[in-house]
Structure 1
């Protein structure tokens, strides 16, 4: 594992610790990290190409009966959700599921910690993406005090064992950590707050993560020490630029699954029969949705 520390803290002046161009009049759009933003056309073209490959990978998984689990973790507003949307956008939903579990119930709290995650593991030919996962215990539960120290330590001991069992049984397991700076996270929080269709994404728990930034950093570092194992390593996704992170994580996922392109099935679309005797009833007999769209013309 690299010793480079991610999720950098901004300086007291509010500027990123990374270099930033001072030429505000430049045609090239730069992030606080100094990275140039991807051109929209280049991004969309590459995303479309990668999404087509994801469809081909899914066809291979279905044909071979392989199983794939992808874990997405990271700070709040790090870009996990938008990356998952791009991955699943064109996949067959019958064989690709996103699991985003709510807080555990009182019954769940009496079970073995991993029990409620096991029931969501894939069957043959399926892809399961965890939008947050069993690593809640090493992150939010640890930082917010929702678990005891003994429960936390037990998790760090059992998680590698649990994941080795999954891999040993033939499940392909990929784990991604989305890394974002505190400056960019705050900017995204404010953007969500001002957007009525995305305000639901904000919660008191999200905002508390600002106050506990360093505690989350220490928890993440400790989690990596214990769970970055050869059988299921962690891969960090730099997510200051969401477009870059989407391209990078999809490309990496495709490169780590040994899929092969299969010849798609061919179908012969029949000609519509002539001389059908069916006559549609008068439109007046049915209730139609009003054509409010015509008001936009």
Structure 2
């Protein structure tokens, strides 16, 4: 194929890339500081941060592989569960967005459960998580998981030490049961430093579009940093099992953390090419006697933009 014949394809690719960049830029706005001073401080703290072009090229390549993984999961009937844990503001939500951004929400869904109800608190601890586990051909991303009991519930006093001990006894066998049932279970812990968390909290405090992310619980996590550290260390010691080990993602650099996590996740699933039927756009059926009705103008959304 000569250059002229290839032009429409390259034009399409350029348009798709531009559209992709627009979408990603919209997501990236959450990382843009609202003042020049905060931007300056952020740059000083992250002098080796990836530039946007390098990051975007790597992200798009990884997302194209995620689509192949998704197709393989559907074709093979696999069941995949990924847990994302870490301190508040560690970047769990950001990587979950980038994983699911271009995937089918009927195949890949995110579970972020609220605080348990009074009824749920009286149930077997794992009971409220079980309904969200995947069926064949599904991937479930848990934005926090049953490990709440080993972290926030323990540190904030929402669970007794007896309940925590019972959790540590039960969770290895619970996860082994999941693996034996055919679920691929991957567990990530996003790790950031004390200084980085403080900086991200300050950014949220001074950004009206991010203040909703700060809860009283988040602020308490700053006060109880060392307690969370001890709880995390014991959690690793008691729940890092061969069938479902923990993987730690260095999270101080958000962009690198996202790329590294997605790349590692792809390596954890033995996906491969699957057969696809060639897609043909059918011709529209044209009925010469049909006349399109004129709808009243009040039904239309006003064109303000």
Query: After the TM superposition, which residues 56-75 of structure 1 pair with which residues of structure 2 at under 5 Å, given as runs?
Result: 56-75=68-87
1:13-52 deviation line (CA, Å, top 9, x unaligned)? xxxxxxxxxxxxxxxx9664x7711111011011011111
Q: Give the corresponding residue for 1:47.
A: 59
Q: Which whole-Å CA distance do the structure 1 matches of 2:218 and 2:297 have between them?
A: 52
Aligned partner (choices 68, 93, 99) of residue 105 of structure 2: 93
Provide the secondary structure at the position in 2 that maps to 1:68: strand
- Higher mean displacement: 214-223 or 92-101: 92-101
Structure 2: distance between partners of 1:230 and 1:53 = 27
Instruction: Using the TM superposition, give the Cα deviation of residue 236 of structure 1 relative to its aligned residue in structure 2, in angstroms.
Output: 0.3
Q: What TM-score does the superposition give when structure 2 sets the normalisation length?
A: 0.83
Corresponding residue of 1:17: none
Q: 1:249 aligns with which of 235, 240, 261?
A: 261
Gaps of 5+ in 2: 1-41
Deviation at 1:281, TM superposition (A): 2.7
Judged with a 3 Å threshold, the aligned counterparts in structure 2 of structure 1 residues 124 and 45 are, in CA distance, closer, same or farther, namely: same
Q: CA deviation at 1:286?
A: 5.1
Task: Check if 1:77 corresponds to 2:100.
Answer: no
In 2, distance between residues paired with 1:136 and 1:275? 60
Match of 2:157 in 1: 145
Question: 1-side partners of 2:49 and 2:153: how far apart?
Answer: 35
Name the TM-score, length of structure 1 as normaliser.
Answer: 0.85
- In 2, the alpha carbon distance for the partners of 1:126 and 1:259 equals 14
What's the CA shift for 1:272? Answer: 3.0
Q: How large is the RMSD of aligned CA atoms in angstroms? A: 1.6
Structure-2 residue corresponding to 1:207 = 219
The CA deviation at 1:196 is 2.2
Structure 1: gaps (5+ residues):
1-28
Hey, what's the Cα distance between the residues in 2 that align with 1:282 and 1:240?
56
Greater helix fraction, Structure 1 or Structure 2: 2
CA deviation after TM superposition for structure 1 residue 258, in Å: 0.7
In the alignment, the residues of structure 2 paired with residue 139 and residue 273 of structure 1 have an alpha-carbon distance, to the nearest angstrom, of 59
User: How many residue pairs were aligned?
Assistant: 264
> What residue is the counterpart of 1:176 in the other structure?
188
8 Å Cα contact 1:31-1:241 kept in structure 2: no
For residues 177-223 of structure 1, give each alpha carbon's deviation from its aligned partner in whole angstroms, at most 9, with x where no partner exists.
00011111111112122222221111000011000000000000000
Distance 1:276 1:87 in 2: 46
SS in structure 2 at match of 1:235: strand
Is 1:164 the counterpart of 2:176 in the alignment?
A: yes
For 1:1-297, list aligned pairs within 5 A.
32=45, 36-274=48-286, 276-282=288-294, 284=296, 287-293=299-305
**CA 1:35–1:65: 2 relative to 1, 3 Å:** farther
Q: State the Cα deviation string for residues 106-144 of structure 1 (Å, max 9, x = none).
A: 111111101111111100000011100000000001101
Partner SS, residue 293 of structure 2? coil
Structure 1 position 274, deviation (Å): 4.8
